[in-house]
Amino acid sequence: MFVIERVRCNPCCVELLLVEDDSSISQPLKAGLEREGFEVTLATTGAQALQADPVDLVLLDLGLPDLDGRVVCQNLRAASTVPIIVVTAREDEIDRVMLLELGADDYVVKPFGFRELVARIRAVLRRAASRPVEEERVEWGSLSIDRRARHVEYDGTRVDLTPKEYDLLAALASDPGAAVTREQLINDVWDENWWGSTKTLDVHVASLRKKTDPSLIQTIRGVGFRLAENQQES
Ligand code: CA
């Protein structure tokens, strides 16, 4: 199971899990990342990746010999909040929305520049480190969120959410009833560099409304969204 205990600022202590089956890529990449001061563990299959010890960040090749990389990504995300950067070949024709759904934090397309990759790793680690530590339970009207278990109930019934739906609901619930701007939500839940994420946000809000109550999330025109106050009185 992956749990980020803390993201350390000193790169010499940052542990990366590199999941890559092609040794012509993994060997020079591992050596390069180690020269940058990262501690690198290599997994050559999806099964190895899922059994690996906790790390600070996962670099995940989607084309693996045993398991679909997308399934590996989903399983890693279901188990923890570890930042995940997906590595994909150009011919995979990645769908950004699909990667968001899987819970990836960012992606790079092969062939990628080493400097670019290191910059992305640092950016994702910085973002993970700045996530606020919040209360473990949120109760807001019919809505109940257990952050430790990433467990959501509405009207006493378990609600099954995708990782990003959960993150979005948790972001709105960080200050229940307060307006949260679209930019803030995109920054908190996705990556400000994702283009197309504006539409993705609306899709996820619609899905959350469908899975809970249409009135749970209010649209604040031109601003963003908030958890509806009448939830508190119901
Ligand atoms: Ca591969």
Task: Render each residue's pLDDT in the chain as its tens digit; 234 residues.
Answer: 444 444 444 545 899 999 999 999 999 999 999 999 999 999 999 999 999 999 999 999 999 999 999 899 989 988 888 999 999 886 566 676 777 778 888 888 888 899 999 999 999 999 888 766 566 788 899 999 988 778 899 999 999 999 899 999 999 998 888 999 998 898 888 865 655 557 889 999 999 999 999 999 999 999 999 999 765 444
How many other C-beta atoms can be found within 10 angstroms of the C-beta atom of residue 206?
Answer: 12
Question: Look-up: residue for tokens 């949260």?
Answer: 180
Determine the Cα–Cα distance for residues 186 and 165; give it in Å rounded to an integer. Answer: 12
Check whether residue 118 and residue 176 sit in a common domain.
Answer: no
Check whether residue 29 and residue 99 sit in a common domain.
Answer: yes
Q: How far is the CA of 147 from the centre of ligand 1 (A)?
A: 34
Q: How far is the CA of 64 from the centre of ligand 1 (A)?
A: 5
Alpha helix ranges (H) inside 138-196: 163-172, 182-189
Q: How far is the CA of 48 from the centre of ligand 1 (A)?
A: 14
Check whether residue 153 and residue 224 sit in a common domain.
Answer: yes
Q: How far is the CA of 62 from the centre of ligand 1 (A)?
A: 7
pTM of the complete model: 0.58
From residue 140, give the alpha-carbon distance in Å to each of 133, 152, 163, 204, 233: 19, 11, 20, 20, 9
Say which DSSP state 112 is in: -
Contact call for residues 128 and 220 (beta carbons, < 8 A) = no
Check whether residue 47 and residue 76 sit in a common domain.
Answer: yes
